[in-house]
Structure 1
Amino acid sequence: MSRVCHKLEDFMRQRRIAREIALQVLYSLEVVEMEAGEAIELYWAHYEAPMDARPFSSLLIEGAWKHRDQIDSLIGGCSANWSIARMSKVDKSILRMAVFELCFCEDIPPKVTMNEAIDLGKVYGSENSGSFINGILDALYAKIHKKNDEQEIAPPPERSE
């Protein structure tokens, strides 16, 4: 295997670890009231984490937590029979992280974000978490793309003179 492939594998592995850390910290923020930065520092103080994974996990945690009201609104708009309050803390944490990635991390392909979230749901969530997360993210992704497509083809606003 080439050196480039090994580096890519290492990069992807670090991203997976970062997402797992972010899930744990976001979950803890659901249980214990504290600031995201404080929760991150507590995690670093008590658990070993690769240095390469820390910046991305911190970005996910801080971003998802900072924008959680906006993110929760997007999730709620795509979950027909489930309010945010009814969702499990694990599923909610995974969804918040994934929606943050979809909306704020343009360098990450949406399909990667969605697949990673589904995989996390299968590993850490309930028996149905993977399909539940998949359904919500698919609906959200479709809404985002429909909105973007409409903006691209929308006529320019009229000038007021």
Structure 2
Amino acid sequence: MSARSKARKRALDVLFAADVRGETPEQSLEAESLRAAARPERASSWPYAREIVQGVIDHAEEIDGLIAGHSTSWPIERMPAVDRGILRIAIWEARWNPDVPVGVAIDEAVELAKELSTDDSPKFVNGLLTAVVKEAGQPS
């Protein structure tokens, strides 16, 4: 697994923890920052994980608006928390991180959904992300 893939998974852990515990993403990010400082063996994936979470925080309203606007069957609050986190990460990468090709952001999100969510989630994640990038006129 690449360092960026590990970072995405760590970022998902932070976002998921905030969602499930009813914390703000900022609180969850701070707690994980403290854990990361105590675990130097995991240092390689932490800077990008922190960048992802901060990006999701900075663009939260727009990201959630894109999710809500493209999810015809599930209101955002009824989606599995892991799917919300995966979508938030992928949308941030696709829209605000020029270092990540859109196709890579989508592929990584679908892989996380396959690994960590329901059997229906990969198709849902792929469809929603494809709609978001099409609307933005980005190549997938």
Structure 2-normalised TM-score? 0.88
Structure having greater relative contact order (Cα 8 Å, sep ≥ 6): 2
Q: Partner letter of residue 16 of structure 2?
A: Y
**What's the CA shift for 1:52?**
1.8
Q: Is 1:28 the counterpart of 2:17 in the alignment?
A: yes
Aligned match of 1:74 in 60, 66, 78?
Answer: 66
Q: Any residues of structure 2 matched to 1:18-57 within 5 Å, and which? A: 18-32=7-21, 33-34=23-24, 35-36=26-27, 37-44=29-36, 50-57=42-49
Q: Which runs of 5+ in 2 are unaligned?
A: none
Q: Could you tell me how far 1:54 is from its partner in structure 2?
A: 1.1
Q: 1:48 to 1:95 in 2, by over 3 A?
A: farther
CA–CA distance in structure 2, aligned partners of residues 47 and 74 of structure 1 = 35
In the alignment, the residues of structure 1 paired with residue 8 and residue 99 of structure 2 have an alpha-carbon distance, to the nearest angstrom, of 16
1:16 aligns with 2:5: yes
- Structure 1: how far apart are the matches of 2:37 and 2:118? 29
The CA distance in 1 between the partners of 2:53 and 2:41, in whole Å, is 15
1:48 Cα deviation from its structure 2 partner: 6.6
Which one has a bigger Cα radius of gyration?
Answer: 1
Instruction: Provide, for residues 102-136 of structure 1, a one-character-per-residue CA deviation record: whole Å limited to 9, x for no partner.
Output: 11101110000000000000000111111110010
What is the SS of the residue equivalent to 1:80? coil
CA–CA separation in structure 2 for the residues paired with 1:93 and 1:47? 24
Q: Is the 8 A contact 1:26 1:65 kept in 2?
A: no
C-alpha RMSD of the superposition: 2.0
SS in 2 for 1:127: coil
Is 1:143 equivalent to 2:132 in the alignment? Answer: no
Letter in 2 for 1:88: P
1:31: Cα distance to partner?
2.1
